[in-house]
Structures are given as C-alpha cells and as structure tokens.
Structure 1
Amino acid sequence: MHAYHMPTFDAQPSLVQIDCPPPQEGQIQVQIFACGLNFADLLMQKSTYQDTPEPPFTLGMEISGVVTALGAQVRGFSLGDRVAVFCGHGGLAEFGVFDARHAIKIPEKMSFEDAAAFQISYGTGHVALHHCARLQPNETLLVTGAAGGAGLTAVEIGKQMGARVIAQARGKEKLAIAQAAGADHLIDADEDLREVVKSLGGADVVYDVVGGDLWTAAFRATNPGGRLLPIGFASGDVPQIPANHLLVKNLTVIGVYIGGYLKSHPEIIHASMSSLLEWYVQGRLTPHISHILPLEQVADGMELLRSRKSTGKVVITMPVHST
C-alpha cells in the first residue's frame, strides 16, 4: 500500500510502498478513505510533539474508512462498519491497523471527509469547554486563532453551549469564517486584543491555540475567577504563567490534551464523542474543510498548515475513496 512515511527525523517524509500488517489482538484493520491533517503532524516531523513515535512511522493522526479485518477479542465491530479512528499516527495510508478502543462508528449521514475532520478538533473543544472549563450559558468565551482547525470548532461548540463568543483571527476572510460559525464579536490580528476584550466586559473562559503575546493579552483580559485553556502554541512561543497573577485574580489554568485523556480516562472521550455526533446528526455542527486533496498531494496539504493558508481542516483522501 502507499503511505506517507517518515523514515528518520533527518529526512523528509515521502510517499512509499509499505506492507500493511494483519490486525493483532484488540485491533481492527481499516481501509482508509480520508485522513485529517493536524498541526501536530508538522511537529512530529521535527520530533517536537509530545507523542511522537520513533521512526520509521506513517504520519496522520485521525482517519475514517471501513473495517476490513478484525483481530482476536474485538467486540462491537463488524466487517464493513464505517468508522473513524483517533490513531495518533498511521493515517496517511491506504490501509491501517489500529486499536479498536480508539475507533467509533460514524452515522450513515456523515461523510468520510467530515468524519476525518471531526475527532481531534471537535473532541478537544468539547472536552476543554464542557469537561474542563465548565463553560456556562451567557459567559464570555475568547477564542484565539479562531479560523483554524482547533479554534473554529471551539467557536461553534461555545455557541452551542450558550456562550457569547469573541473570536480573534488574522484578516477579514478568516474573521468572516469565525462569524459564520457563530462568533458574536471579532478581533483582527492588528487590534489590541486586551483592550477590545476588556471593552466587551472581559473573558470568563479563554481558549488559546496561539500562545506567545496573544496568551499574555488574553490572560490580562480575563475576568476574576476565569478559566484559561492553553490548547496549543502555533506562534512557537510557549508562554510562562505568573502564579502571583493567578492568585490575585483567582484564575484557573487548565491544560488540555485529549490524547492523554484517551490513555488515562477514555470514558471522557467516548462521552464527548457521543454528544458531538448527536449534535452533528441534529445539524448543530458543520465541519469546515477548506481543502480536500488526494494522497499524492499530501505535502501540499502540510504546506497549507505550515503557511497558515488553510481554514478549518485540511483533509487528504485516498485513491480508493468513495462516499
């Protein structure tokens, strides 16, 4: 099969032919139809992601497709089931073998593209806002990087939870996408985020995917008793958090990494996915996919993420893809 393979950290990934192993106990084999790209795929290529496997390995963290083989002791899945898998790696290939505990069945009305774009972005947003921050109706949610894969879903989920959403992004086009997802107030990159947010009454919850100076500005615009969620550091600058300021304003900073929840508390992920898929079926969530590219153009997809020219998600489809 073809796979977008990482031979070593000193070499560029490329499309190669590799064998697909049969599923072992507790695993399912999936014919992959689509794979969602994530910023973490770029970090893995530099070995700077917290969950990077040792090379050689195939990139691609989340997939959708059809079950083609079952390992021993697998329960709850049958051949031909339509599934999505939060696999961590191995998704940019025509077939994959994955832990069945990380797979979910997807609704018939859900396209494979939507399914491949769903788990990490929506899962992170829902776990962060619902389970961690306990976002309440009528609270103010500030989302930075609000047109990207992680930020845009937080805007959408925040509105579904009844919050007033302030969205920060760069440029009118990206802000319009955040507005279409439900944002009530928009902040462009050249505006003073702290001053604008404070003029709107401050933020009760901050969902920050950028880090750096934006984190600092958001931190200073958070209301007493607020909760801050450091989701990622797209700026490349991991901010330091002044503990004395947390004390004075009774702030709470909550780290969120759903890959960690999948290992330590998978029931939280499963409950979140159940709620999110129900919202999707009800038409309350609409994944925004700016680019759908074939497997042979996966390097172009990675560059869209690297250059921040995509909005929402970039999805790669396999040669056999058919919905």
Structure 2
Amino acid sequence: MKAAVCKAWGLPDTLEIMELPDLVPGSGQVGIQVKAAGVNFPDVLIIQNKYQFKPELPFSPGSELSGEIYAVGEGVTHLKKGDKVIAFIGHGAFAQQVLAPAASVMPMPPGMDFDTAAAITLTYGTSHHAIVDRAQLKSGETMLVLGAAGGVGLAAIEIGKALGAKVIAAASSEEKLDICRQHGADILINYSTADLREAIKAATDGKGPDVIYDPVGGIYAEPAFRSIAWRGRYLVVGFANGEIPKLPLNLTLLKGASLVGVFWGEFAKREPKNNLAAMRELLGWLNEGKIKPHISKRYTLNETAQALNDLAARKVTGKIVIHPEE
C-alpha cells in the first residue's frame, strides 16, 4: 500500500509518497481501506513538530477518515469485513490503509458518501464541543465566528443556527463570506476592509456577541474580545493565524466574561461517552439537513503536500479531502 510519510520534521513539501507493506490488524483493531481522508490544520503543524501531539518518526499525518474494513483483529465482534466506517485516529490517515482501535470506529450511516463521512469528525466534533458543551450557546443569543469560511468556522455557523442563535460571520474576503451566507450566517463582516470593533458594534446594536468562536488568534482576538457582551464566552479554538494572542486579563473582569479553552481531541479521549453522544446529535442534524459539510476540493495521495500548503495559505473554504486510492 502507498502512504504519504513524514520522515523528518519539516514543511509539507518534505513529505514522501512511499510503498509500504500491507497492514495486519492486531487484537482489538480493524484494518481500513481508506476511501477519503479529511485534511485539517493540525496536520500542517504535526509534521513540523509544532502540535501538542508528537508522534515518533516516521509517520503518516492525517487523523480523520472514512473507508471500508478489509480485516478485523482478534476480539472484534461488532465490526466485520466490508463494513463502511468512519474513524478518528491520532495519525496515519493519508495512506491507502490504516489500523484503528475498533472502539474508535463508527459505522457510516446509510446513504452517507465517503467524502462527507471523512469531513465531519474533527471540524464538527470540535465545533459541537465548543458551542454546545463549553459555551452552552442558547436560542436567541448571538455568536460571532472568526475565520468563518474555514472547516470549523462553517461547522460553527451551522451548529449555531441549529441551536437557534443569531450568527455573525467574519472572514477575509467577499468570496469567503458568500460561502458563509450559503451556510446560514445572518450578518457578514469582511475584516480585511472593515473596522472589526465598529462592525461588531453595528451588528449587535452595541451589546456585543454572547459567544465568540475563535479558531484564528492573531490580531483579531483583542478587538473581538473587547467587543464581547456582558457574561460573554470567548472560545479559544486554535491559532490558524500562527500567532498566539496576548489578551489583557482585565477585560474578563470588566465584561464579566469567560475565556474558554477548547481541545476536542482531549475531550474525545477523556469523555468518550459524551463525545459519542455529540456525534449522534450531529449525525441526526445531518440527516435533517441542518448541517452539510462543504467539500471545496479533492486531492490525490500524490497531491498531499499541495493540499496541506493550500490549507496553510488559507486558500481553502470549508473542508478538503484526500483520496488515497487515486
């Protein structure tokens, strides 16, 4: 089987496409033929040794996938060869085959396509954990989403609307904002041309958003936090900008506001039952048409480096996926 392999820490162009032995599942594992693998910002960081999780070299990046089981290991009874499944693993998805603990594998709902199945785990899981669990967003409240046209951003918009909230989407271009509008955003802010604080003030009649969803960090964090409503919740989701902001803590006092950390991977590991319940709710919303992953581009395994470069350069809207068999 073939895989995109990180042999030394570096940028995406250092990845190598290699022919490797077929994988044989051990006890409690299943072997999955990968049909689609979702690409996420942590994949850009992990190959540079800049992520919280640091695998041993060499390894294949990629954490979420969909595919078909080709073999089951000893002790696995609830899954069988030929099952179509969704899996979230630490790394290894940018390959034609992966091994996954059977406990971390979920059957694909009937009628779901492989691309959608590969695009729902991390982005929607992160946004659900952030908005429903950590922020406890309520119907009638207002949420501001920064970097709203990215994978987690669009997921956040859809989840906010599913909960009955008013959603303000902020992004860097009119093209990206049009995608946000198509996914349900009520108000659009182009923060490359508008004064962010003034735009937020106008959009909320001076009250400020009850929840701010921030996967970007950088220069927009402080003006956004200065605009938050009384008792607001500021969700620290990630730092796609590359810069970790330094917020004056007196702002939390003045606004009676909360800074709330969001680390979905750790949540999924520590609270698997709660994570499974969240995924079931998401799949229910998907079936009802309340959420729909936006797949903007598909890449072959040989184009893995290009996919990661496009994501890092913020050329991507919604989700992109890799098809390892192509």
Q: Same fold (TM over 0.5)?
A: yes
Q: Quote the offset at 1:198 in angstroms.
A: 1.8
User: Quick check: 1:147–1:312 contact (8 Å CA) kept in 2?
Assistant: yes
Q: What does the per-residue CA deviation read over 1:163-222, in whole Å, with 9 as the maximum and x for residues that have no partner?
A: 000000011110000011000000002211111112222110010011011111110110
Q: Quote the offset at 1:90 in angstroms.
A: 0.3
Corresponding position: 1:275 with 2:291? no
Q: Distance in 2 between matches of 1:193 and 1:71?
A: 54
| Residue of structure 1 equivalent to 2:267 | 261
Match of 1:313 among 285, 305, 319: 319
Match of 1:180 among 179, 182, 190: 182
User: Quick check: 2:23–2:97 contact (8 Å CA) kept in 1?
Assistant: no
User: Quick check: 1:20–1:96 contact (8 Å CA) kept in 2?
Assistant: no
Corresponding position: 1:106 with 2:115? no
Q: Percent identity?
A: 41
Letter in 2 for 1:166: I
For structure 1, the 5+ residue unaligned runs are none
Q: Distance in 2 between matches of 1:262 and 1:136?
A: 23
| Residue of structure 1 equivalent to 2:3 | 3
| Residue of structure 2 equivalent to 1:168 | 170
Out of 94-103 and 130-139, give the one that drifted further: 94-103
Q: Quote the offset at 1:35 in angstroms.
A: 0.4
Match of 2:151 among 142, 149, 152: 149
Corresponding position: 1:241 with 2:247? yes
| Residue of structure 1 equivalent to 2:28 | 26
Where do residues 34-73 of structure 1 align in structure 2 (5 Å cutoff)? 34-73=36-75
Letter in 2 for 1:162: G
Corresponding position: 1:290 with 2:293? no
| Residue of structure 2 equivalent to 1:198 | 201
Q: What does the per-residue CA deviation read over 1:96-139, in whole Å, with 9 as the maximum and x for residues that have no partner?
A: 00112221111121100111111000111111111111000010
Give the RMSD, CA atoms, in angstroms. 1.3
User: Quick check: 1:26–1:74 contact (8 Å CA) kept in 2?
Assistant: yes
User: Quick check: 1:109–1:281 contact (8 Å CA) kept in 2?
Assistant: no
TM (norm. structure 2) is 0.95
User: Quick check: 1:158–1:165 contact (8 Å CA) kept in 2?
Assistant: yes
TM (norm. structure 1) is 0.96
Out of 228-237 and 7-16, give the one that drifted further: 7-16
User: Quick check: 2:4–2:15 contact (8 Å CA) kept in 1?
Assistant: yes
The number of equivalent residue pairs is 320
Out of 134-143 and 277-286, give the one that drifted further: 277-286
1:241 is paired with a residue of what secondary structure? coil
Q: Quote the offset at 1:3 in angstroms.
A: 0.2
User: Quick check: 1:194–1:221 contact (8 Å CA) kept in 2?
Assistant: yes
Q: Distance in 1 between matches of 2:39 and 2:82?
A: 24
Q: Distance in 2 between matches of 1:102 and 1:52?
A: 20
Q: Distance in 1 between matches of 2:119 and 2:19?
A: 25
Letter in 1 for 2:199: V
Q: Distance in 1 between matches of 2:85 and 2:96?
A: 15
1:219 is paired with a residue of what secondary structure? helix
User: Quick check: 1:29–1:69 contact (8 Å CA) kept in 2?
Assistant: yes
For structure 2, the 5+ residue unaligned runs are none
